[in-house]
Copies of this chain bind each other. A is one copy, B any other.
Amino acid sequence: MPRQKLAAEPDRPARDPKRTRAAILDAATTEFARYGLGGARVDRISRASGANKRMLYYYFGDKEGLFLAVLEAAYAGIRSAEQKLSLLDVAPIESVRRLIRFTWDYFLAHPEFISLLNSENLHRASHLRKSRRARSLNSPLIATLGAILERGRREDIFRKGVDPLQLYISIAGLCYFYLSNIHTLSSIFGRDLAAQPARGARLRHVTDVVLGYLRREP
C-alpha cells in the first residue's frame, strides 16, 4: 500500500518539522501502548505516522529515546488535566469525590497511559531515570490533597493522620488495577468487567472505600 504523505494539502509546506515530530509521537504512543516497548516495531511506527523511518532517528535518537519522549508527553497530559481540576473551592468530601472521579475517568479515557506505565515499570523506570523532567512530572495534587485532608480533619469530618501521598497512591491503585488488569480479571471471574454496569459499580465502590476510610473515627 502506497505510503501516505503528510503534506498532501496544496497550501501546506512539504516540510513541517513540528507536524512530523507530532505525527511520529502520536503513532509511537499507539504502537508502544498496544505492543509494549519490546513488541513495538519501528517500521510500523514509521508507516502509521507517514514519516520516513530515518526521521524517527533524526528526531528521537533511537527506539528507546522515542519511548521516553512518548512517556514524557503522556505525563504532561495527565498533569495538564490535573491542573484543570478545581478541588479547593468545595467541601472536603466533595473534593475527594472529584479527585476519585477525575482519576477514574482519566484512566478510562487513556488506557495508553496505563500501558505505557506498565512498560516503563517492566524496564524499571530506566527511561524516566534518564529524563531531565522526571521530577517535574511529579503531581502538585499531593500538596492539594494534603490541604483537603487537613481541612477535613479540622472540620471534624475526616480522620486524623492521613498521609496524602499514601492516599493518592491508593486512589490511583483502586482505579488503575481494575482497568490495567481488566482482561485477566474478566477471564478469571467469568464476567465482563469492562461493561458499563460493572464500571459504574466499580467507581461507586472505590468512592465508598476511600470515603469510608476517611470517615472520622469515633
The residues of A with any CB-CB pair to B shorter than 8 Å are 35-40, 75, 115, 117-122, 124-125, 128-129, 134-135, 137-139, 142, 159, 163, 165-166, 169-170, 172-174, 176-178, 180-190, 201-202, 205-206, 208-210, 212-215, 217-218
- Picked from B178, B183, B190, B205, the residue with its CB within 8 Å of the CB of A120 is B183
* A218 CB contacts on chain B under 8 angstroms: 218
Determine how many copies of this chain the complex contains: 2
* A214 CB contacts on chain B under 8 angstroms: 212
CB pair A129–B215 under 8 Å, yes or no, is: no
CB pair A170–B209 under 8 Å, yes or no, is: yes
28 sample A-B contacts, Cβ–Cβ < 8 Å, listed by A number: A35-B38, A35-B122, A36-B36, A36-B37, A36-B38, A37-B39, A38-B40, A39-B122, A117-B184, A118-B122, A120-B183, A121-B180, A121-B181, A134-B187, A135-B188, A137-B188, A138-B190, A166-B202, A169-B177, A170-B174, A172-B177, A173-B176, A180-B180, A212-B214, A212-B215, A212-B217, A213-B213, A215-B215
CB pair A185–B201 under 8 Å, yes or no, is: no
CB pair A188–B122 under 8 Å, yes or no, is: no
